[in-house]
Structure 1
Amino acid sequence: MTQKSSEGARSDDPAEIGRRVQRLRGERGFTQRQLAEPAYTAAYVSTLESGKVRPSEAALRHLAERLGVSYEELATGRPAHLAAELRLRLTDARRALATGAPDDSAELFRAVHEEAVAQDLTEEQADALLGLGDCLLESGELTDARDRFAAAERLLADEPLPRRVPAVRGRATAHLLTGELRYACYLLESTLDELDAAGLHDPEALLLLYTASIAPYMDMGAHARAAHAAELALALAPRVDDPALVAGMHRGVARTLIAEGRIAEADASLAKAQELYRQLHIRTELAHCHWMRGYVHAQDGDLEQAESELRTARDILASKRAALFTEQVEVELADVLRRRGKTGEAAALLRPLLTASDEEDEGGGGSRSTGGARSTGGAGPLGAGRGAVHAGGAHRLLGLIAEERGDTEAAEEHYCAALSLLERSSAVGDLADLCRLLGDLLRRTGRVEAAMDAYRTGLGHRAAPGTTTLGPAPATPPM
């Protein structure tokens, strides 16, 4: 932050401006009188260069024109092309995130952020932080991701709410994935209500919020609300053309404009490109919509269509190397595969998602995933601090598979592991069913009292699905 403060002083301190004017005048061989005429006097330039007077905007514009530099460069010391170049690098980083591994693009975002801080460029700092947050989300580093989004939101505190929505969405997603489901819903719903109250029905902002809300709704058992959010998100998506093609055009044009010195036009073109590259994240959000539709089809008993939707979601996420989200979809896909009788394929998807000890517990006749089942780059196991709800779901499914092959000891271990994860995450939507499964298993093995305890726990959760943890649904915007 020292660099930022220093750069801020150059912008405001008359002594810094005076030294800058003196240096540029000397480089161009002007006398003070030559620089001042015809609008000002040599004495005024002398006073300005000594730092004894704060120059007006009109004076700075006159001097900048005489010196052959931009007003911004004279007033702040920043080259006129710097912000445009940083925007260009941000679009490169966004493209890298859309097409490659998040770790690679994170390095690009960090470099831009450091330079933006040094030059006191708030907008570029915020956008670099948003990019870093998205990289960290996709790689599963959730605490660091949340911190980056919060920092971006603070930088944009004076901007219109739609500008801050990506940071809000990022924070909510990070809280969701660490198991704070209620707070994630609160962040998203309160922002939707705030947008509606202000009449700010921005399609991209709404799309980000609605699609981000699907997962916490699902995990809390608010299935009707999740389905409604998915319908709204899918209705909003066609209002955006192919972002990759349009952004590529703007980015190419910006390169030629910068080379020709047409900085303002290049900056405008890069702003369009950067916005469109940000919208490439919509592929992740649309995958969540396919994910939700797969769940709905599974609930309706159309398992073939459910498998198709979930595979589509998985393919979209895997192509972006969104490791954590891909792993979560694989848990839901494994559930459908098991219900379709494809137990071996389901188990092959699930085993690599948990820790090595979990795989050993499930071992015996099973083999590790084959046939391309894993494509997320081995980002680490699901667990309490990383995809907690779906880690619980994976244990539940492995417990069912163990029961089906007669291994009641392994089944009980998986059910208990799932129960612990879901209770800590307040994922009440799945807890009642899990307690029923555990109770049935305990009853069949002769432990009636323990089974009764499990059933009572399940009834307690059954009495409190989404209605007691969520307030009224957000208002539906005009479409």
Structure 2
Amino acid sequence: MSATAERDEPGTIGRRVQRLRVERGLTQRQLAEPAYTPAYISTVEAGRVRASDEALTHIAERLGIAYEELATGRPAHLATDLRLRLTDAQRTLATGEASVAAEQYAALLGEAETHGLVAEQAVALLGLGECALTTGDLAAGLRYFERSEEVLGDAPLPVRAPALRGRAVAHYLAGELRYACYLLESTIDELNRGGLHDPDALLLLYASAIGPYMDMGAHARAAKAADIALSLAPQVRDPALVARMHRQVARTLIAEGRVAEADASLVKAAELYRQLQIRTELANCHWMRGYLHAQNGELVRAEGELREALVMHSGRNAALYSSQVTVELADVLHRLGKSKEAAELLREVIGELSPERGAVHSAAAHRLLGIIAEDARDTETAEEHYVRALSLLERAGAAGDLADLCRLLGDLLRRTGRVEAALDAYRTGLGHRTVPGTTTLGPAPAHPPL
């Protein structure tokens, strides 16, 4: 944007020139000399002429202020200073201090609004949204991301992509998997079909789609998104974005049984996060490695990684993430024969999760409590937990998990003599496995011109 475009109207500038001239005890002649006439200064102050950049530069020098302050009313270098402090807030959030970062972002948002700095407003709102996701306030996060989009208005789609991605993640964490996929896929399509090949925006969107795809049972689509993300990575400048991508890609590698490659991807992500001092994401790497070891049957290693993730998240206002890690840790403990400890952990966190706040993990907690109850021959409690989990998964559209849960519920019903009800549960489960690896989302998004 040119300097001329970032200027107030002639009348506003004129009043500012007059006020500053009078404050400094200068006459119009003194302000004009040697390049201009007093009459010209008079027309500028009256707002009857749009002064050139050269004229405003001259007037600013005579008044002893920067051109930017005269033309916009903003203190010199304010935007640069705000951007530096926004980076500081981002670093605070990265170390896990979400509540402190939120205070910083809120103050910076107020300053940006006061001075009409649109881009900085959008960044501050984006930061507030990320803070809200970290603390588990998904409704607030969604509002911040929507406001960020509104502030950006007609900005190019790559500029709006982080806010769109934030909205999708908020819906994903709230259990609205299908809508999250729709937001990500439609944005990817618009970028690709419109020829807006922005590697940073595309990598952010493809990597963010892996989680909801996996939870919906759309493994083929998740694997494709991971392949595209890996192809885009060499073109991306932001190391934090590349690290996040490696962590997401590991999920598809695990699903495909490529354990060594998944671990290598997580090691790369953890190393980048360590270098960048991004504590929250580093904790998530420990979380994913714990999940990897659990899938590979290495339960003791899995327990260690998950406990490390829990320690890093606990006490840093990452309540939602802590609850989700706790559910996965409880699953590992149950498989290690520590069912009593697992049940205690689940009962502690189950109130922190809900259909609107971590639906998939809430369902997982009820499923595991059902299994533990069934092992203790408390079939009534087990059935209650299975039915609750079923309701949560149906709302979220998590097809893969639904099929497994229907099998558990069917087996329980069959063992208790309710054969017809068991058959209904099995049929429901089969319905979610009719076309493995696909969803009813429609065609996959167009491929970027790699």
Same fold flag (TM > 0.5): yes
In the alignment, structure 1 residue 212 sits paired with structure 2 residue 208: yes
CA distance in 2, matches of 1:463, 1:289: 33
Kept in 1: contact 2:94–2:281 (CA 8 A)? no
CA distance in 2, matches of 1:345, 1:69: 67
User: Of the candidates 80, 93, 105, which is equivalent to residue 97 of structure 1?
Assistant: 93
Structure 2 counterpart SS, 1:351:
helix
Structure 2 counterpart SS, 1:462:
coil
Q: State the partner residue of 2:69.
A: 73
Q: State the partner residue of 1:448.
A: 419
Q: State the partner residue of 1:202.
A: 199
CA RMSD of aligned residues (A): 3.3
User: Of the candidates 398, 409, 413, which is equivalent to residue 380 of structure 2?
Assistant: 409
Q: State the partner residue of 1:154.
A: 150
The change in CA–CA distance for 1:305 and 1:234 in structure 2 (over 3 A counts) is farther
Could you list the per-position Cα deviations for residues 164-189 of structure 1 after superposition, in whole angstroms to 9, with x for gaps in the alignment?
33212211110101221122123333
Q: State the partner residue of 1:426.
A: 397
CA distance in 2, matches of 1:466, 1:314: 31
CA distance in 1, matches of 2:122, 2:22: 37
The change in CA–CA distance for 1:297 and 1:186 in structure 2 (over 3 A counts) is farther
Q: How many residues align?
A: 410
CA distance in 2, matches of 1:224, 1:332: 24
Paired letter, 1:384: P
Could you list the per-position Cα deviations for residues 261-312 of structure 1 after superposition, in whole angstroms to 9, with x for gaps in the alignment?
xxxxxxxxxxxxxxx99x9696545655655555455444444554455455
Percent of matched pairs sharing the same residue: 64
User: Of the candidates 47, 53, 56, which is equivalent to residue 57 of structure 1?
Assistant: 53
In the alignment, structure 1 residue 31 sits paired with structure 2 residue 27: yes
Deviation at 1:321, TM superposition (A): 3.8
- My pick for the range that moved more, 23-32 or 397-406, is 23-32
Q: TM-score, normalised by structure 2?
A: 0.80
Structure 1 unpaired stretches of 5+:
1-9, 244-275, 356-380
CA distance in 1, matches of 2:29, 2:145: 51
Q: State the partner residue of 1:373.
A: none
In the alignment, structure 1 residue 83 sits paired with structure 2 residue 79: yes
Paired letter, 1:431: L
Paired letter, 1:57: D
Structure 2 counterpart SS, 1:12:
coil
Deviation at 1:448, TM superposition (A): 2.0
Q: TM-score, normalised by structure 1?
A: 0.75
User: Of the candidates 121, 126, 132, which is equivalent to residue 130 of structure 1?
Assistant: 126
Paired letter, 2:431: G
Kept in 1: contact 2:363–2:388 (CA 8 A)? yes
Structure 1 counterpart SS, 2:432:
helix
In the alignment, structure 1 residue 461 sits paired with structure 2 residue 406: no
Structure 2 counterpart SS, 1:115:
helix
CA distance in 2, matches of 1:465, 1:180: 20
Structure 2 unpaired stretches of 5+:
1-5, 241-271
Structure 2 counterpart SS, 1:457:
helix
Could you list the per-position Cα deviations for residues 191-248 of structure 1 after superposition, in whole angstroms to 9, with x for gaps in the alignment?
4455556464535x455334422321221012354456567768949987988xxxxx
CA distance in 2, matches of 1:285, 1:211: 14
Structure 2 counterpart SS, 1:468:
coil
The change in CA–CA distance for 1:200 and 1:431 in structure 2 (over 3 A counts) is same
Q: State the partner residue of 1:107.
A: 103
CA distance in 2, matches of 1:231, 1:334: 32
CA distance in 1, matches of 2:378, 2:65: 78
CA distance in 2, matches of 1:179, 1:18: 55
